[in-house]
Structure 1
Amino acid sequence: MKRILINGKIFTGEKFVSAMEITDETISWIGDSQTARKRAADEVVDLKGRLTLPSFWDVHTHPLWISETLGSVACTPPNVFSIEEMIAALKNSPQVGKKDAWIEGWGYDESKLAESRTPTRHDLDKVSTTQPVYVLRSDCHSCAVNSVALKLAGITKETPDPFGGMIGHFENGEPNGVMLENGASKLIKAVKEKDTFENVVKRTLKLAAHYRSRGIGVISDMISLVAPFDYAEIYSEAARRTLEQEVYLYYSIDEIKRFNLTKLPQPTHPHVHVAGIKLFMDGTISNRTARVKKPYKNATTTGFSINTAKDLQLAYKFAKENNCQIAIHAMGDAAIQLILDTYGDLQPWLSDRPSVRIEHATLLDDKILKQFRDAKMNFAFVTQIIFLYAEYAAYFQNLDEKRLKECYPLASMLQSGVPTALSSDAPATAWIKPDDVFASLACAVTRLGANGEDLNHKEAIDLVTALSMYTKAAAGMVETAQTAMLTVGQSADIIVLSQDLFNVDPQQWQKTTIEKMYLRGKELNA
């Protein structure tokens, strides 16, 4: 099968051309439209001048979490700005009135709510006193639930805080329904998530349309599990059906400990890959749980650690033995420093990709960037400017001016020479479309927040560089033969946009839609 695309503004990642030939799954020729018309083809596609790009790679996201939010209530801007609006939105959930069904929402951030606080069980009891109500916080680490959910989980005033989390309480000691960080959220999820393998696969298949609408051709699931269903099996089965996106899996170190794993699971489909292991060093800036060197603004707290140097050593040993990556959630500068101090002088074990990925890498000053540059270990940063864009109010509330300027310093990260890619961490941020690549691109180029805040314009980058961080640089984070560029011999993974980013104000980029998408030369239907 030969398909020729003509009359386009095709950005290969290096230059602009107007025509391209696809033979089966790969790009077989690029050039000008006049020459292209002389080439034999089974199909000729007129791009009508549209900007055409390599499809995006989201190398830090949570697809199965996204699949759950597709059927739950968005409790995030620009839809919800108060607890009262959240209650009203949840009351309109299609799950209301269904026996044994959970009423679910996602995306709240207390700093964006008019009440400036987290919803409690008393608030969520206004939604229902007969059905469990569960609302996932924007960071996907914490949640708020009603009294029914607490009862189902067996949580009382005597329930101790679990490892890696805290149970919120009222002044009288009774649980208030706020479950801080993953360790506490898991207590709720353990009674909520009762599913079958087939149902999980069907939910996963809904991601195909979602990612097509985002122009994303490669995804990484950053908290992959072994039980109750192995993610390698879930994604392999989904790929055998209709999920066309390439998938990379990072298994939680908690699963490795829990099941005493010595090897990682193996997928049974060629488009699904097990890439490495994932661990958490701290929480989030917006929730003041990220581990920082100096106390948060107008506070004495410095966040808390989840895993330790001992856990980092365990991960190092496992990764070396399995020739896989380590991906580490670290937002606070203290958490990042611990990783650097533990691994910096060790010999890398991977040569074709980073051995250690720092996920988020939020607070980085010039001193620590130089230390990363000079380290023997081959580190990389996979960061999310969408956090600062959507959650600036929380960052402003929690960080002093100096540290605000050190948040997601894209220009400085690139200047350091440490490989850096952009990603979304969706659905883990307070925005209605957390994995809208165009929102991230616009923020990276303008350094303006959702409400026009200056996010340190000195750290702005140009559009070509920003696009590279979602394509070529992102591909460099995983094991692949692909460059995420539109060049001869590469996979024909292509998106055609509704507007030209190079000639449209960045403030309008979020209006962009994906008119056509090809993965491995196959056109995906809208």
Structure 2
Amino acid sequence: MKRILLNGKIFTGEKFVSAMEITDDHVSWLGDSRSARLRHADEVVNLNGRLSLPSFWDVHTHPLWISETLGSIACTPPNVASIEEMIKALRNSSQVGKKDAWIEGWGYDESKLAEGRTPTLADLDKVSTTQPVYVLRSDCHSCVVNSVALKLAGITADTPNPVGGMIGHFANGEPNGVMLENGASKLIKEVKEKDTFENLVNQTLRLTTHYRQRGIGVISDMISLVEPYDYAKIYAEAARRGLLQDVYLYYSIDEIKRLKLSCLPRSSHPRIHVAGIKLFMDGTISNQTARVKKPYKNATTTGFAINTVEDLKFAYEFAKANECQIAIHAMGDAAIQLILDTYGNLEPWLMNRPSVRIEHATILDDKLLKQFHDAKMNFAFVTQIIFLYAEYASYFQNLDEKRLKQCYPLASMLQSGVPTALSSDAPATAWIKPDDVFASLACAVTRVGANGEDLNHNEAIDFITAFSLYTKSAAGMVPTDKTAMLTVGQSADLIVLSQDLFVTSPEKWQETTIEKMYLRGTEIKEEIEVQDGRNY
């Protein structure tokens, strides 16, 4: 099969051409439209001058969580700006009145709510006192539930705090429905999530259309699980039935320890890749649980430590034995420093990709960046400028001016020489479209927040550099031979845009839509037909 695209403005990642030939799944020729070998083509596509780019790679995201939010209520700006609006929105859920159904929402950030506080079960009981109500916080670490959900989870005033989390309480000692960090949220999820394998596969199939709308061709699931169903099997079955994106899996270190695994699960599908392991060193800036060196502004707390040096050493030995990557959630400078101090002088075990990825890497000063550059270990940063764009109010509330300027310092990160990529961490962002790549690109270029805030303009980067952080640099973060560029011999993965980002103001980039998308040389339609299949 030969397909020729012509009369376009095709940016390969290195240069511009007006025509491209695709043979089967790969790019076989690049050049001028007048030189295109039309008589050899099975199909000719006129791009009508549209800008075409390599498709995006989102190498830190949570696809199965996204598939859950597709059927739940967005409790995030610009839709919801108060607890009262949250209650109203949840009352309009399609699940209201359905027996045994959970009423679910996602995306709240207390700093963005008019009341200036976290909602509690007293608020969510106004949604329902007969059905469980669950709202995931924007960071996807914490949640708030109503009294019905607490009862189903068996949580009372006497329930101890779990490892890696805290249960919120009213002044009288009774639980208030706020579940801080993953350890506590897990108590609710264990009751709520009772999906069958078949339902999870069907839920996963919805992702092809979602990512087609975003122009994303490659994704990573950053908290992959083994039980109750192995994510490698869920994604493999979904790929057999119609999921078209490549997927890289990073398994939770907690699962590995709990199940006493000596090796990682294996994938049975060529587009589903087991890449590494994931662990958490701290929480988030927005709720003061990220581990920082100095107390938060107007506070005495320095955050929330989750895994320890011993956990880092365990991860190191496991990753070396399995020749896989370690991806570590670390937002605060104290958490980041601990990783550097533990791994910095150790020999890397992977040469064709980073051995250790630091996810988020939020607060970085010049000294810390130089230490990472000088380290023996081959580190990399996978960061999310969308956080600062969407959640600036909470960062401003929690950090002094000096540390605020050190948040997501893209220009400095790149100048340090440490490999860096951009990603979304969706849906863990207080924004209605958390994995809108165009929002991240615009913020990286302008360093202007959602409400016009200056996000330290000294850390702005140019568009081509920002674009490479979502393509070429992102591909360098995972085990692959692909370059995420449209060069001869590479996979023909590209998107055709509704407007030209090179001439359009960044303020208008979020208006961009994906007119066409090709993965492995085949056009991906907006609505995907998937195949039915038996239970795995």
TM-score, L = length of structure 1: 1.00
Q: Partner residue of 2:150?
A: 150
For 1:304 and 1:177, the matched residues in 2 are separated by 20
Q: Partner residue of 1:60?
A: 60
For 1:140 and 1:328, the matched residues in 2 are separated by 16
Q: Partner residue of 1:524?
A: 524
Q: Partner residue of 1:51?
A: 51
For 1:372 and 1:44, the matched residues in 2 are separated by 49
Matched AA of 2:187: L
- Secondary structure class of the residue paired with 1:176: strand
User: How far did 1:361 drift?
Assistant: 0.1
Q: Partner residue of 2:387?
A: 387
User: How far did 1:304 drift?
Assistant: 1.3
Matched AA of 1:274: V
For 1:385 and 1:4, the matched residues in 2 are separated by 36
For 1:116 and 1:323, the matched residues in 2 are separated by 46
For 2:304 and 2:176, the matched residues in 1 are separated by 21
Q: Any residues of structure 2 matched to 1:369-388 within 5 Å, and which?
A: 369-388=369-388
Matched AA of 2:343: Y
Q: Partner residue of 1:503?
A: 503
Q: Any residues of structure 2 matched to 1:78-477 within 5 Å, and which?
A: 78-477=78-477
- Secondary structure class of the residue paired with 1:503: coil
For 1:160 and 1:54, the matched residues in 2 are separated by 50
User: How far did 1:310 drift?
Assistant: 0.3
- Secondary structure class of the residue paired with 2:502: helix
For 2:39 and 2:52, the matched residues in 1 are separated by 20
For 2:135 and 2:304, the matched residues in 1 are separated by 23
Matched AA of 1:35: S
User: How far did 1:38 drift?
Assistant: 4.7
For 1:98 and 1:194, the matched residues in 2 are separated by 17
CA deviation profile, 1:232-281 (whole Å, cap 9, x unmatched): 00000000011010000000000000100000000110000000000000
User: How far did 1:212 drift?
Assistant: 0.3
User: How far did 1:37 drift?
Assistant: 5.0
Matched AA of 2:323: N
For 2:79 and 2:151, the matched residues in 1 are separated by 30
Matched AA of 1:318: F
Q: Partner residue of 2:534?
A: none
For 1:377 and 1:495, the matched residues in 2 are separated by 36
Matched AA of 2:70: L
User: How far did 1:39 drift?
Assistant: 5.0
Conserved in 1, the CA contact under 8 Å of 2:38 and 2:44? no
Which aligned runs of 4 or more in structure 1 are off by greater than 6 angstroms?
none
For 2:429 and 2:211, the matched residues in 1 are separated by 17
- Give the number of equivalent residue pairs: 526
Q: Any residues of structure 2 matched to 1:2-21 within 5 Å, and which?
A: 2-21=2-21
For 1:74 and 1:247, the matched residues in 2 are separated by 25
CA deviation profile, 1:70-102 (whole Å, cap 9, x unmatched): 000000000000000000000000000000000
CA deviation profile, 1:78-130 (whole Å, cap 9, x unmatched): 00000000000000000000000000000000000000000000000000000
For 1:38 and 1:446, the matched residues in 2 are separated by 41
User: How far did 1:40 drift?
Assistant: 1.5
Gaps of 5+ in 2: 527-536
Q: Does residue 512 of structure 1 match 2:516?
A: no
For 1:358 and 1:190, the matched residues in 2 are separated by 28
For 1:16 and 1:459, the matched residues in 2 are separated by 27
For 1:126 and 1:39, the matched residues in 2 are separated by 67
